[in-house]
């Protein structure tokens, strides 16, 4: 969703969303706040409240799996919202952001046993959960036009640390998964076969990993641009 338009009501000539659309968007964002709050609670409970004996019997993925699969994959709805114009997000940017996360959950952690025990998983879940609680809460409050300044500040400030932390966790998950994919031909297609084609999932993992190099800096700097606009960093330019 577009962070620029969500910070405060913008006076434009565009048609106001219908009441039904507002109810739907508010409900979706509120549910996501609840879901990611639960995942953050699980993360804290697993590492802080529970003891070593519990962690020896249950992996983090086994403990958080259901909630992560549901609420992360539910983000696919955001692509549809952007495509059908229910929100003012860029569909291309939204698609990349959603599928990069879904790739980690479905194509890395769920697909490989090594991805499930990667040290990147708790790092990614920590960054994702805090980011999403703030982001979805921001969107929900903006729909009812009640956005405290603190929430706006958190939305356009916490990303400075959380984005690199989250990307680090994601890449560590990819790294742990690619070793297993290379040795076991996970989701790969080798010759000969009826399709007369080959597909290397190991190569795909590396393509996605290398794709972070050109794409992440652009998204990261885009957030800094939005931060300057929303939090008043461009005030001096406007005064001149």
Check the CA dihedral 207-211-212-214 and report its sign: positive
Can 163 be counted among the known catalytic residues?
A: yes
Per-residue confidence (pLDDT) for residue 4, from 0 to 100: 41
Can 170 be counted among the known catalytic residues?
A: yes
Q: How far are the Cα atoms of 2, 124, 143 from residue 29, in angstroms, in the given order?
A: 14, 20, 10
Residue 30 belongs to some domain of the structure: yes
- Averages of pLDDT over runs of 10 residues in the chain (240 residues) are 41 68 96 98 95 93 97 95 89 87 94 95 97 97 95 96 97 94 78 72 93 92 93 52
170, 180, 201, 202: which one is catalytic?
A: 170
Residue 239 belongs to some domain of the structure: no
**Full residue range of the structural domain in which residue 174 is found:** 19-232
Per-residue confidence (pLDDT) for residue 183, from 0 to 100: 86
Q: Could you tell me which residues are beta bridge partners of residue 189?
A: 199
Per-residue confidence (pLDDT) for residue 173, from 0 to 100: 97
Residue 52 belongs to some domain of the structure: yes
Per-residue confidence (pLDDT) for residue 12, from 0 to 100: 41
Which ranges of the chain would DSSP assign to H, the alpha helix? 3-6, 19-44, 52-57, 60-73, 76-83, 91-102, 113-116, 120-143, 149-155, 159-184, 201-230, 235-239
Q: Could you tell me which residues are beta bridge partners of residue 199?
A: 189
Tens of pLDDT, residues 98-125: 988 999 999 999 999 999 999 999 999 9
> Which residue reads 């690619």 in tokens?
178
38, 63, 163, 212: which one is catalytic?
A: 163
Residue 179 belongs to some domain of the structure: yes
Residue 12 belongs to some domain of the structure: no
- The candidate with the shortest Cα–Cα distance to 166, out of 122, 200, 105, 206, is 122
Number of structural domains found in the chain: 1
Per-residue confidence (pLDDT) for residue 232, from 0 to 100: 79
DSSP state of 87: S
Per-residue confidence (pLDDT) for residue 90, from 0 to 100: 85
- The candidate with the shortest Cα–Cα distance to 223, out of 150, 164, 172, 173, is 164
Nearby residues of 8 by Cβ (< 8 Å), 6 or more positions away: 142, 147, 152
Per-residue confidence (pLDDT) for residue 240, from 0 to 100: 36
Per-residue confidence (pLDDT) for residue 191, from 0 to 100: 63
Tens of pLDDT, residues 126-148: 999 999 999 999 999 999 999 99
């Amino acid at each position: 969703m577009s962070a620029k338009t969500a910070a405060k009501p913008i006076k434009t000539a565009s048609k106001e969303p219908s009441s039904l659309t507002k109810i739907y968007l508010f409900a979706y964002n509120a549910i996501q706040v609840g879901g990611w709050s639960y995942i953050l609670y699980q993360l804290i409970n697993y590492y802080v409240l529970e003891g070593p004996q519990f962690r020896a019997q249950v992996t983090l993925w086994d403990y958080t799996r259901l909630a992560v699969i549901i609420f992360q994959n539910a983000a696919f709805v955001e692509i549809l919202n952007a495509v059908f114009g229910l929100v003012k997000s860029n569909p291309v940017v939204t698609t990349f952001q959603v599928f990069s996360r879904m790739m980690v959950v479905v194509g890395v952690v769920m697909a490989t046993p090594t991805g499930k025990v990667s040290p990147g998983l708790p790092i990614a879940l920590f960054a994702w959960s805090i980011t999403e609680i703030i982001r979805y809460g921001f969107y929900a409050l903006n729909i009812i036009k009640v956005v405290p300044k603190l929430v706006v500040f958190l939305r356009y400030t916490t990303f400075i640390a959380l984005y690199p932390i989250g990307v680090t966790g994601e890449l560590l998950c990819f790294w742990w998964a690619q070793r297993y994919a290379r040795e076991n031909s996970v989701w790969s297609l080798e010759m000969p076969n009826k399709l007369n084609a080959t597909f290397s999932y190991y190569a795909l993992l590396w393509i996605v990993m290398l794709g972070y190099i050109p794409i992440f800096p652009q998204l990261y700097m885009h957030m800094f641009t939005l931060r300057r606009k929303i939090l008043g960093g461009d005030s001096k330019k406007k005064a001149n």
